Amino acid sequence: MKKGSMKLVKILAVMFLLTFVSGCAGNQKAAESSAAAETREVKTEENKAAEGKKVYFAGPLFNHAEKDFNRKVVEILEENGYQVFLPQRDGIEAALLEGKSEEELTRMIFDLDSGEVEKADIIFMNLDGRVPDEGACVELGIAFGKGKRCYGFKTDTRSVELGLDLNPMISGCMNRIFKNTDGDALLEEIRKYLAENNL
C-alpha cells in the first residue's frame, strides 16, 4: 500500500474513532438529560398538589388563647390541602434561642420568617388585637409587595379608626377578610368558604 493511501486510511480511522467517541458521549448526555427531565417531571407531579397552596400564617402568638385560635384556623387550612407555616409551631425552637444576643435573636427570627413569607403563595393573617400585630403587619407588607394573595380574619371589635374597623393600609392589601365576633362562627365561615373556593 502506498504511503499516501496509508496516511488516508489512518486519517479516516482517526475520524471514525472521534465520531464514534463523540456519538457515545452525546448518547450519554442525552440519556443523562432524559433522566434529569424525568426527575423534574416526578418532582413536578409531587409538587402539583401543593402548587399555589403554600400559606404563611401571620399574627400574634404570645398567649394561650392566641395560639389556640391560630391552631384551629390552621387545622382548617390544612384539612383543605394547604401547606401552612405556623411560626408558633414551625418557627425556631426556643432552645435554639437560648444564650443569643438581642441582635442574634432578631437576625435569626427575621431571616426565618421573612424567608418563609417569600416561599409562600398566600399570607393568612390574624387581625385580632387592639391593633394588628406589628410583626404580622411587616409580613403582610412583604407578601403584598411580592404580589402574594392576602387573607385575614378578625373576631376582635376593639379597633375603630375614623369609623373604619381596620387601617386602610392593612385592609387594602387583603383579597378577603373573614369577620365574626363569634370565634366558632368565624371558623365555620372559613371552613365553608374553603369548601367552595380556593384561596
Give the pTM: 0.72
For the chain, domain boundaries = 1-48, 54-196
What is the pLDDT averaged over residues 88-113? Answer: 88
Q: Please list the residues that pair with 54 across neighbouring strands.
A: 83
**Of 26-35, 159-168, 172-181, minimum mean pLDDT range:** 26-35
pLDDT tier at 9 (50, 70, 90 boundaries)?
Answer: very low
Q: Which residue is it, cell 444564650?
A: 99
pLDDT score, position 3: 54
pLDDT score, position 188: 98
Cβ proximity of 118 and 98 under 8 Å? no
Portion of the chain with pLDDT greater than 90, in percent: 60
* Burial state string for 68-101 with b = 16 or more CB within 10 A and e = fewer than 16: ebbeebbebbeebebebbbbeeebeeeeeeeeee
The dotted CATH code for 54-196 is 3.40.50.450
Cβ proximity of 55 and 77 under 8 Å? yes
